[in-house]
Chains A and B, each alone.
Chain A
Amino acid sequence: MCEFCTEHGEGKKWYLVMNNYSRELFAQKRRVEFFEDFLANVEEDSAKGVAKLDAIRNKPLIYRFIRRMSLRKQKANHYGQVVPIEDVEQIIDLQSSIVRLPCVCRKLTTGREARYCFGIGVDPTGLLGKYPDYAHSFEVLKREEAKKLLRSFDEQGLVHSIWTFKTPYIGGLCNCDQDCMAYRMTVKEKLLPIMFRAEYVATVDWDLCSGCKKCISQCQFGAILFSNTHKKSNINVMQCYGCGVCRAACDHEAISLKPRSDFAKLPW
């Protein structure tokens, strides 16, 4: 169980607790203002914040201090967790409103519009309509449509993650690849972790693995290795984020997810 599960999970996974999506929670703690400010300024604020942190990277003392402060702030305001498709479907079932949005990260890192993000439970207040850049390509989805889309994203190898707006309120569902800021920050640059790994890790059943290597190209985290001696794939569980997208590429159902808590030493 991750840190948020023990704090906000009521004994189960925190993202499956109905209360963390409730309208009442959204109305508390100036969340609406936070959300509005987020939509209005997120690109510039995150770009500048990242650049500042990056600039002090080679000064270990200051970097360690600032990093710890930023991590605390990030965990209180906007933190994410990777979630495999089965759990995403359970999350979708809890929602009354789902809207599809252009991805903030990809706009920032590639300058292109990619509509891979979902706002969950935040639309009924009409908040997003105020921002023309979100509203013009804004699309209200039914649960079934959302699930179908998410399945197709899973097959494309996009990693699903949920995002808080002032933890524990969950308001965003992202489908990330390597252009995502969370990926850059947490996985590639290792500047500041801003998302948890999933509650699972993937493992390969060697009896079923044919050694076709398809899963290797699907993994965004470079966690799958290939043993040429055995002609089988192998997952480096220390690097695995438990997103489960590798399973979509496997024709032999050789990859399965196991609870991360079964492994005593794995990082979150």
Chain B
Amino acid sequence: MKIGINSQACGNPLDCRLCLDKCPEKVFGTYPRKGRKPGILADDWVIFPMFVSQCSGCLECIDFCPHKAISVQK
């Protein structure tokens, strides 16, 4: 399983967080980029797939992402 995130399409990870909340396996994480802490601006933050091996392939993240920024490949 390969999960790609188009960080340019993903607008505001800190306020949206739908992928973090909706993923049943809790694959995603979010952090402020190095040197950008505490991360006041939205683009200081990135969504990052952490536990990719846990992904069950339900593809709910693709449905929920309002910016269509997530892609899942087998």
Residues of A whose CB lies within 8 Å of any CB of B are 40-41, 43-44, 47-48, 50-51, 54-55, 57-58, 107-112, 131-133, 136, 179, 184, 189, 191
A189 B51 Cβ-Cβ under 8 A? yes
Query: Which residues in B have their C-beta under 8 angstroms from that of A184?
Result: 26, 51
Known contacts being A41-B34, A111-B14, A133-B37, is A47 close to B29, with CB within 8 Å? yes
Partner of A109, one of B29, B33, B34, B49: B29
Q: Is the CB of B54 within 8 A of A189?
A: yes
CA distance in complex: A48, B30 (Å): 11
**A57 contacts which chain B residues (CB < 8 A)?**
53
How many B residues face the partner with a CB closer than 8 A? 23
Please state if B20 and A109 are interface contacts (CB–CB under 8 Å).
Answer: yes
The CA of A82 and the CA of B33, in the complex, are separated in Å by: 31
B contact residues vs A (CB 8 Å cutoff): 13-14, 17, 20-21, 26, 29-34, 37-39, 45, 48-54
> Given A40-B37, A133-B38, do A111 and B30 touch, yes or no (CB 8 Å)?
yes
Looking at the assembled complex, report how far the CB atom of A49 sits from the nearest CB atom of chain B, in whole angstroms: 9
11 contacts between A and B (CB under 8 A): A41-B34, A44-B31, A47-B48, A51-B48, A107-B30, A108-B30, A111-B13, A111-B20, A132-B37, A184-B26, A184-B51
Partner of A44, one of B14, B20, B21, B33: B33
A133 to B36, CA, bound (A): 11
- For B15, give the chain A residue with the smallest CB separation: A111
4 tightest CB-CB pairs across the interface, nearest first?
A133-B38, A43-B31, A111-B17, A111-B30
B8 to chain A, nearest CB (A): 19
Complex: A55 Cα to B30 Cα, angstroms:
18
**Given A109-B26, A111-B13, A111-B20, are A51 and B50 neighbors across the interface (CB < 8 Å)?**
yes
